[in-house]
Amino acid sequence: MQIVRSPLRAAAGRHHSRRLAGLCLALFLCAGLPGAEAGSMLPEDYFPELMSLLEHARDASPHVHRQSLRIEQAEGERLAASSATKPRANLQARAAASVEYRSDLDSTPLRGFAQTNLSVRQPLYHWGALRATRRIGELQLERTEAEGVEAREALLREIRGQYLQLVMLRRRESALERSLGYSEDLVSAQEELVRRNRLSETELLESRLSLYDTEEQLSSARNRVRRLEDRLAQNTGYDRVDALGRVAVPEIRVMSPEEMHELRRAIDRETRISGDVLAEQLELEMERERFQTLESRLRPNVDLVAGITQDQLEAVGSDDYEVRVIYFTGLQVSWNLFDGRETRGRKMSSLARQRLLEMRAERTRQMERHELNALYEEVQHNLRQMTTRERRSELTEQRLALQEELADRERISRTELLRERIAAEEIRIQSLEARLTYLENVGRLRARIHGDPFLQGRAGEPPSIIHDR
């Protein structure tokens, strides 16, 4: 990547310097850029590129595919469990030939016979065990779907965060390239001053150390960009992430105090059950149904049976066979009288597991409430930090403009101006980082409280801007 060199190597005038400062201010303070529509506080509302990336991940992400297979597996288990209350039919048939050798007979006739048995069994009463088995399959499917919703929400949060971090890192990379150019100019200028005995070697060494530090930071930033691109590609299934994140940052709307108070009230009301809590509640219900199946193990189970049996009997006074057909219907009772206290042990284990699941579900609710409170406080901190950094950035730009004028009038040295430019780059990056962090955390907080709008579906979504080439 080409390094941007400082224009101060040539004789730069006041007009050029002011225009450069104005350009940096526009890029990093986002002045004059259109923001998202009112009420929007999700990153994709400000970055259409991110919306398209989320749409691509919804169809192509390996995580989504794996979750779809888990739901399909659970649907198959539900279908299998529902068969417990349905009739079952069984057909058995046998055909054979026999040869009988007798000393009192001259011949050994070959005889064939066939036997067929068709039976149907319909469970009638199993003390609620069959209904519980069917219900377990349904609960397992609901739990898998709840885990799928939670997994998709977590994936969306991760993709949003990675995208915003990518935007931030690309800006930092560009800023470090400019800072590296300024540092090289500074070292060159100081080397000239040292040759003229107008600057000490110590100051030159400090500038060189700063130059090497900037080179290391730039290399680290580029490495972080590559790693982040790899993770983003894995999460979304999109293989051209190297083109993402090179966008202008629009003005980000700040939530009003009334909106923050409403979020605070929503956290206190706990109006939404997360996918994790719902999954644990469903697991508790499944364990209660399993206990119901244990209750019936030592009780008599009643089934309705019916069928047809066909076989062959030897005819009286003849060597031939006569066909016999038997129709039967009735009740069948099966009763496991004693199992060595196996059922008692399993019921004891199931009750203990129910108590553990209740405790785990309550702990998960408490942890999520604590996380929501912490995230709410973090958003407030982000707002204060963003306000402070923007003020610092504005003051830095004003100071840089004054330094530019002083440099034009030769009131300050070139080296002082370069140092000011290097410091201004870092202040701009910090201001942008605060903006993006605030946007990410506000989106996370609202999605955790009200559910992710991307999964719920929204009207007027922008068309995809990611196309296959």
Closest CA to 417 of 47, 16, 43: 16
User: Average pLDDT, stretch 102-113?
Assistant: 69
Fold of 7-87+139-298+348-456: Outer membrane efflux proteins (OEP) (1.20.1600)
Please tell me the predicted confidence (pLDDT) of residue 16.
Answer: 37
**In the chain, where the domains are located:** 7-87+139-298+348-456
User: Does residue 166 carry a pLDDT above 50?
Assistant: yes
Q: 3-class DSSP state for residue 336?
A: coil
* Nearby residues of 98 by Cβ (< 8 Å), 6 or more positions away: 110, 111, 112, 113
Handedness of CA 437, 438, 440, 444 (dihedral sign): positive
User: Does residue 276 carry a pLDDT above 90?
Assistant: no
Q: 3-class DSSP state for residue 165?
A: helix
**pLDDT tens, 424-458?**
988 999 999 999 999 999 999 988 888 888 887 64
Q: 3-class DSSP state for residue 217?
A: helix
Q: Which of 117-131, 302-316, 448-462 has the highest mean pLDDT?
A: 117-131
Q: 3-class DSSP state for residue 89?
A: strand
**pLDDT tens, 328-362?**
999 999 999 998 899 999 999 999 999 999 999 99
User: Average pLDDT, stretch 235-256?
Assistant: 87
* Nearby residues of 453 by Cβ (< 8 Å), 6 or more positions away: 42, 447
Do 154 and 308 meet the contact criterion of CB atoms below 8 Å apart? no
Do 322 and 371 meet the contact criterion of CB atoms below 8 Å apart? no
* Nearby residues of 299 by Cβ (< 8 Å), 6 or more positions away: 127, 335
User: Does residue 319 carry a pLDDT above 70?
Assistant: no
User: Average pLDDT, stretch 269-298?
Assistant: 89
**pLDDT tens, 203-240?**
889 889 989 998 999 999 999 999 999 999 999 988 88
